[in-house]
Amino acid sequence: MPDTIEDVLGRLPDIRDATRDLKETLLANLVMTGEIPAPTFQEANRGQFLRDRFSECGLSSVSVDEVGNVMGIREGSDGDSARNVLLVAHLDTVFDARADHTIEVREDRVIGASVGDNALGVATLATLPSLLDMLGVEMRSNLMLMGSTRSLGRGDLEGMRFFLENTDRPIHSGVCVEGVQIGRLSYTSLGMVRGEITAEVPDAYDWTRFGASGAIRQLNDVMTAINRIPLPQTPRTSIVFGSIHGGTSFNTIATQAALRFEVRSDSSDEVRRVHERIAEIAEEQTAETGANVKLDIVAQREPGGVPFGHPLVKHTRAVMDRLDITPRVSPSTSELAVFIRRNVPAVTLGVSTGRNLHEAEESVEIEPMFTGLAQLVGVVIAIDEGLCDED
Amino acid sequence: MKIERWLKDHTFHHSEFWDLRAMVAEKEKQNLKISLCIPTLNEEKTIGKEIVIFKSELMNRYPLLDEIAVVDSGSEDRTLEVARAFGADTYYSGDILKSQGFKRGKGENLWKAIHQLTGDVIVYVDADIKNIHPRFVYGLVAPLIYRPAIKYVKAFYERPLAVSKTHIRPSGGGRVTEILTRPLFSLFIPELTAIIQPLSGEYAVRREVLEQIPFPIGYGVETAHLLDVHAKFGLEAFGQTDLDQRVHRNQETRSLGKMAFGILQTFLGRAEALGMIDGLPELHKVLNQFQVKDNEHELVGFKITEEERPPMIEIPEYQQRFQRTV
């Protein structure tokens, strides 16, 4: 007889207490993961560490695929008929390999580049097999743990897409593990287009021409024009300017400048409309000024999601509720989008509370981690027991 | 030639000892008990990470260590609380062997640890290492497990290829080593120049050696160890392991001056006792350094006395606790 969700929920407080016994293991995994630089496309060393951890935990089929994804499987008792549950944490970070990756462990928190996004997610995967063994959790399903590569920025979820396109195992359901924030609950993905606009002023530029003012001014005009694009409140649509780079000093006219942006919307039509308008703006700017303004699209997603009433979402909320985690529902543009696109029910969950994300002083709190781990174990057990299947 | 042969045969790289499972099996076969001692004074920023890594990797995952202890000289920050939060045994040095009183200094903590900790081997690791890794312990312990004739294993480090911040520097071939210790060894005991990093704070030693040597409580402790172990057991008793890079706080040149002053005191005292020099005058204990104030040079004197603790084997409480006699 499968457990009921109440049985699973009843075990959660004990599970949370037990996770404390693995405090040093989790933190050591966090430190050792986080101190290995892993900018997007250079995740191999961090992946190697995770691979070693998977081997040490006795997982089977420990391997690294063509794009660097690291996989390990905790085999289920159902043998050939076991369903496959995929837990994924992205390996890459926003930090350059040359940044200081030293991590500091305080009594109540851990501080350092990438600890929250996503060293803690990876460390959670590295610790989970020991935790399940310690708790005596025997699953019928195969628990597939994967550190995925090329997730962020120009990586465009390549690791995750490669895996789901090429695996011969049907994936029953998925959980994306993010270090922060605990309470995060994503089960829908936004439509998105992500791109870079570069402005270059040619060497033979005619500086006497009206409006001639260098690449940064060109880019500024482009941004002003983008800001004038009308955006509907429904379906929700937004444009994020993520970063700008350009120029070299106070008083030298810049010859190059670049803007990175993302358009997000609940509607793919809106994403397409805004994308087209931005492309026109870039062309107009080139035509009118003689500067070279180019648009380069680096990633796109279709919107979609698991319905709110799906048992996976419902029981995930129940697990969070029992652990006094307040769910913060937000759509995602990360690994979840790949699950959703392939019609695999999945959620994204956070493990702890963090601050100063993507800064050198990025930090995560230790105490919430135990609740975050218990939440993950609860959801995995509920999936394994078939409680999250649709009728 | 002896040095070259020794270097070949007694110098290791931590990567030779990657197989921790095998190392633990061998350790258990020999029924060896290993204690880690981290001497501290105001190290709240780095101690947590050291304890977490060693506890997780070398106690829980691979039970190489039987004991992790922090021996503190009276930190005013939260060093001991942090260490305790992650499962280390913590001691205030003044509480150990109370009959012997308390002296403030790293050497004092190392010496008291011989009485407090129970291992057949004690491995000492400084608390200020930013890039801590299990190799800092297993790289030093391994030669003692696999080579019964080796009694004292010292760490040395490679220079990092890139260091991100200017205030962090590699310790490989540190300034005091190259300017003071190595020239002194070259003059008086050339064999000891084989030790690549004589002042490194990381070493693993068998109890039977530790209990027989005196401990300066200050800067001279590492130098004294090398001279005394060499005099008693010869170069063959040493091993050294390359632990790759070590990143830690940089020290100002003036602090290094104090360190050199303490080391010189220890060295000269030993050299006289070992009959290498004689007729030393009474040495002054004040190091004079200058500071500039309102464009005036001002003399500042620092009193640095290298006090020493006797070999632990001579302490009655120790003899009783470990059933030892002189």
Taking an 8 Å cut-off on Cβ atoms, the answer to whether A98 and B162 are in contact is yes
Least confident range from A202-211, A217-226, B158-167: namely B158-167
* pLDDT given for residue B172 in this prediction: 46
Q: What is the mean pLDDT of the segment spanning B201-214? A: 97
User: Above pLDDT 70, what percent of chain A?
Assistant: 97
Give the length of chain B: 326
Same domain membership, residue A275 and residue A330: no
B82 touches chain A (CB under 8 A): yes
Taking an 8 Å cut-off on Cβ atoms, the answer to whether A105 and B57 are in contact is no
Per the domain annotation, does A389 fall within a domain? Answer: no
* pLDDT given for residue B169 in this prediction: 46
Contacts of A41 (CB under 8 A, 6+ apart): A92, A149, A150, A154, A155
- Cβ–Cβ under 8 Å, residues A375 and A206: no
Taking an 8 Å cut-off on Cβ atoms, the answer to whether B56 and A28 are in contact is yes
* pLDDT given for residue B136 in this prediction: 96
Taking an 8 Å cut-off on Cβ atoms, the answer to whether A27 and B56 are in contact is yes
Same domain membership, residue A346 and residue A277: no
CATH (domain of A291)? 3.30.70.360
Taking an 8 Å cut-off on Cβ atoms, the answer to whether B56 and A99 are in contact is no
- Quote the minimal CA–CA distance from B207 to chain A in Å: 28
A23 touches chain B (CB under 8 A): yes
d(CA B76, CA B81): 11
- Residue A290 — pLDDT band, cuts 50, 70, 90? confident
B78 touches chain A (CB under 8 A): yes
Cβ atoms within 10 A of the Cβ of B40, count?
28
Identify residue B5 by its one-letter amino acid code: R
Q: What is the pLDDT of residues B11-32, one digit of tens each?
A: 999 999 999 999 999 999 999 9
Same domain membership, residue A336 and residue A211: no
Same domain membership, residue A117 and residue A92: yes
Chain B neighbors of A98, CB-CB under 8 A? 162, 164
Least confident range from A324-333, B52-61, B89-98, B171-180: namely B171-180
pLDDT of residue B1 exceeding 70, the answer is no
Nearest to A106 among B53, B82, B247 (CB): B82
Using alpha carbons, select from A318, A223, A301 the residue that is nearest to residue A267. Answer: A301
Of A301, A335, A352, the residue at which a domain comes to its end is A301
Phi, psi of A204 (to 5 degrees): -90, 30
Taking an 8 Å cut-off on Cβ atoms, the answer to whether B60 and A23 are in contact is no
Of A253, A277, A301, the residue at which a domain comes to its end is A301
- Quote the minimal CA–CA distance from A57 to chain B in Å: 10
Phi, psi of B204 (to 5 degrees): -120, 135
Taking an 8 Å cut-off on Cβ atoms, the answer to whether A31 and B53 are in contact is yes
Taking an 8 Å cut-off on Cβ atoms, the answer to whether A106 and B87 are in contact is no
- Residue A382 — pLDDT band, cuts 50, 70, 90? very high
Cα Rg of chain B, angstroms = 19
Domain that holds residue A233: 191-301
pLDDT of residue A203 exceeding 70, the answer is no
Residue with the larger pLDDT of the pair A209 and B122: B122
- Quote the minimal CA–CA distance from B268 to chain A in Å: 40
Per the domain annotation, does A226 fall within a domain? Answer: yes
Same domain membership, residue A145 and residue A196: no
User: Above pLDDT 70, what percent of chain B?
Assistant: 95
Nearest to B56 among A25, A99, A106 (CB): A25
B320 touches chain A (CB under 8 A): no
Q: What is the mean pLDDT of the segment spanning A313-334? A: 94
pLDDT of residue A2 exceeding 60, the answer is no
pLDDT of residue B173 exceeding 90, the answer is no
List the structure tokens of B66: 């039987």
Taking an 8 Å cut-off on Cβ atoms, the answer to whether B56 and A24 are in contact is yes
pLDDT of residue A89 exceeding 60, the answer is yes
- Sign for the pseudo-dihedral over CA of A91, A50, B141, A107: positive
Cα Rg of chain A, angstroms = 23
pLDDT of residue A225 exceeding 70, the answer is yes
- Residue B171 — pLDDT band, cuts 50, 70, 90? very low
Chain A neighbors of B86, CB-CB under 8 A? 23-24, 27, 105
Chain A residue with the nearest C-alpha to that of B52: A24
Of A236, A271, A301, the residue at which a domain comes to its end is A301
pLDDT of residue B208 exceeding 90, the answer is yes
Q: How many domains does chain A have?
A: 2
Chain A neighbors of B49, CB-CB under 8 A? 31, 103-105
User: Above pLDDT 90, what percent of chain A?
Assistant: 86
Same domain membership, residue A265 and residue A147: no
Q: What is the mean pLDDT of the segment spanning A128-140? A: 96
d(CA B73, CA B40): 7
* pLDDT given for residue B162 in this prediction: 43
CATH (domain of A380)? 3.40.630.10
- Quote the minimal CA–CA distance from A14 to chain B in Å: 21
**Mean of the per-residue pLDDT values of chain A:** 93
Nearest to A104 among B49, B60, B86 (CB): B49
Per the domain annotation, does A135 fall within a domain? Answer: yes
B44 touches chain A (CB under 8 A): yes
Chain B neighbors of A45, CB-CB under 8 A? none
Query: Apex CA A149: angle with CA A146 and CA A153, to 5°?
Result: 135
* pLDDT given for residue A251 in this prediction: 82
Q: What is the mean pLDDT of the segment spanning B40-54? A: 95
Which of B52, B61, B137 best probes binding to A when mutated, by most A CB atoms within 10 angstroms?
Answer: B52
- Quote the minimal CA–CA distance from A142 to chain B in Å: 24
Q: Which residue is listed with tokens 């979402």? A: A313
Q: What distance lies between CA B181 and its chain's CA centroid?
A: 15
pLDDT of residue B120 exceeding 50, the answer is yes
Q: What is the mean pLDDT of the segment spanning A6-34? A: 96
pLDDT of residue A204 exceeding 70, the answer is no
Per the domain annotation, does A362 fall within a domain? Answer: yes
Chain A neighbors of B82, CB-CB under 8 A? 105-107
As a dihedral over the C-alpha atoms of residue B178, residue B180, residue B183, residue B184, rounded to 10 degrees, the angle is -140
Same domain membership, residue A238 and residue A160: no
Q: What is the mean pLDDT of the segment spanning A338-350? A: 95
Chain A neighbors of B78, CB-CB under 8 A? 107
List the structure tokens of A270: 């809106």
Per the domain annotation, does A390 fall within a domain? Answer: no
Same domain membership, residue A169 and residue A40: yes
pLDDT of residue B166 exceeding 60, the answer is no
pLDDT of residue B170 exceeding 70, the answer is no
- Residue A257 — pLDDT band, cuts 50, 70, 90? very high
Per the domain annotation, does A52 fall within a domain? Answer: yes
Same domain membership, residue A182 and residue A92: yes
Q: What is the pLDDT of residues B293-317, one digit of tens each?
A: 888 888 889 998 889 999 999 999 9
pLDDT of residue A207 exceeding 70, the answer is no
Which of A23, A24, A26 best probes binding to B when mutated, by most B CB atoms within 10 angstroms?
Answer: A24
Spell out the domains of chain B, with CATH numbers in brackets: 2-322 (3.90.550.10)
Which of B15, B51, B56 best probes binding to A when mutated, by most A CB atoms within 10 angstroms?
Answer: B56
Q: Is the peptide bond before A166 cis (omega within 30 degrees of 0)?
A: no
* pLDDT given for residue B325 in this prediction: 87
* pLDDT given for residue B2 in this prediction: 85
Same domain membership, residue A237 and residue A111: no
- Cβ–Cβ under 8 Å, residues A67 and A150: yes
* pLDDT given for residue B254 in this prediction: 86
Q: What is the mean pLDDT of the segment spanning A48-70? A: 96
Read out DSSP for B165-226? Answer: STTEEE-TT-HHIIIIIHHHHHHH-GGGGGSS-TT-S-EEEEHHHHTTS-EESSTTHHHHHH
- Residue B92 — pLDDT band, cuts 50, 70, 90? very high
Same domain membership, residue A154 and residue A290: no
Taking an 8 Å cut-off on Cβ atoms, the answer to whether A102 and B247 are in contact is yes
Per the domain annotation, does A54 fall within a domain? Answer: yes
Say whether B77 sits in a helix, a strand or coil: coil
Same domain membership, residue A242 and residue A172: no
Taking an 8 Å cut-off on Cβ atoms, the answer to whether A31 and B52 are in contact is yes
* pLDDT given for residue A212 in this prediction: 57
Per the domain annotation, does A166 fall within a domain? Answer: yes
Q: What is the pLDDT of residues B279-289, one digit of tens each?
A: 899 989 999 98
Which of B15, B38, B47, B49 best probes binding to A when mutated, by most A CB atoms within 10 angstroms?
Answer: B49
Chain A neighbors of B52, CB-CB under 8 A? 24, 27-28, 31, 105
CB pairs under 8 A between A and B: 53
B55 touches chain A (CB under 8 A): yes
